[in-house]
């Protein structure tokens, strides 16, 4: 088997599949964060802490810039849902199941402003974080290196499906991502079931939510 050739090819394919769904979110005067396209008609998911003002600017992978409306934000879960006026966007597919510890994970974002960066790691741990309100929030710790600018970007599995939303950097080498299940619940609360996982042809089983 041409191991190197096929290995590089599938990684390239994975990256090419994810990048059109990766956006830049400019919410601060300085810098910015990442975000991902959640529905083909313009829903964008990112971290709450990336969105400092009510009308952040979203820059898509095709370089077009859009003023976004803030649909909902949850400081507790550090999630925010934005909407831009656009259509035929390419949303990411959420992973149908919880990830397993040990599986490959790729973090997409713009660390230190380096656009469309991809870092590789594995799912290191599946943990429950305590929110400021005392609720538990399922999070994924990975060993993929993250830096400021990765926040709000997707953590994807080897199939290119979203497993988490990159959120925190603890102690320099510990990356936490909010589980995509928590993100789905957050979006569901806001926009109702019909908007969930547009582009994802599978019906969402109740148990997964």
Residues designated catalytic:
49, 78, 151
Instruction: Show contacts with other proteins in window 170-189 (CB under 8 A).
Output: 173-174
Is 198 a binder of other proteins (CB under 8 A)?
Answer: no
Name the residue nearer to other proteins (CB basis): 41 or 103: 103
Is 118 a binder of other proteins (CB under 8 A)?
Answer: no
Binder to other proteins among 52, 118, 126, 204 (CB under 8 A)?
126
Q: Is 8 exposed, middle or buried (0-12, 13-18, 19+ CB in 10 A)?
A: exposed
Name the residue nearer to other proteins (CB basis): 76 or 103: 103
Instruction: Indicate the SS3 state at residue 13.
Output: helix
Name the residue nearer to other proteins (CB basis): 57 or 126: 126
Name the residue nearer to other proteins (CB basis): 70 or 104: 104
Instruction: Report yes or no: 182 and 167 within 8 Å, Cβ to Cβ.
Output: no
Give the HSE-up count for residue 194: Cα atoms under 13 Å, Cβ half-sphere: 1
Binder to other proteins among 124, 169, 190, 198 (CB under 8 A)?
124
Instruction: Indicate the SS3 state at residue 27.
Output: coil
- Residues 166-184: b if buried by 16+ CB within 10 A, e if exposed: bbbbeeeeebbbbbbbbbb
Is 98 a binder of other proteins (CB under 8 A)?
Answer: no
Given the rule CB under 8 A, which of 22-30, 78-86, 119-127, 184-192 is the region that contacts other proteins? 119-127
128 vs 136: CA distance, rounded Å: 6
Given the rule CB under 8 A, which of 69-77, 107-115, 158-166, 190-198 is the region that contacts other proteins? 158-166
74 vs 106: CA distance, rounded Å: 25
Instruction: Report yes or no: 99 and 124 within 8 Å, Cβ to Cβ.
Output: no
In the complex, which residues of this chain contact other proteins (CB under 8 A)? 3, 6-7, 10-11, 14, 100-104, 121-128, 141, 143, 157-160, 173-174
């Amino acid at each position: 088997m041409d191991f190197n050739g096929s290995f590089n090819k599938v990684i390239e394919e994975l990256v090419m599949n994810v990048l059109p769904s990766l956006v830049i979110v400019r919410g601060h005067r300085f810098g910015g964060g990442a975000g991902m396209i959640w529905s083909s008609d313009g829903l964008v998911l990112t971290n709450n802490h990336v969105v400092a003002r009510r009308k952040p600017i979203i820059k898509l992978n095709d370089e077009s810039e859009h003023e976004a409306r803030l649909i909902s934000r949850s400081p507790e879960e550090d999630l925010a849902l934005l909407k831009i006026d656009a259509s035929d966007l390419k949303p990411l597919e959420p992973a149908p199941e919880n990830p397993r510890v040990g599986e490959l994970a790729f973090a997409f974002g713009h660390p230190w402003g380096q656009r469309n960066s991809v870092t590789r790691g594995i799912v290191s741990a599946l943990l429950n974080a305590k929110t400021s309100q005392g609720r538990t929030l399922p999070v994924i710790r990975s060993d993929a290196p993250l830096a400021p600018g990765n926040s709000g970007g997707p953590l994807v599995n080897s199939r290119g499906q979203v497993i988490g939303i990159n959120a925190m950097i603890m102690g320099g080498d510990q990356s936490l991502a909010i589980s995509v299940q928590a993100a789905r619940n957050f979006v569901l609360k806001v926009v109702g079931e019909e908007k969930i996982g547009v582009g994802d042809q599978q019906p969402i089983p109740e148990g997964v939510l």
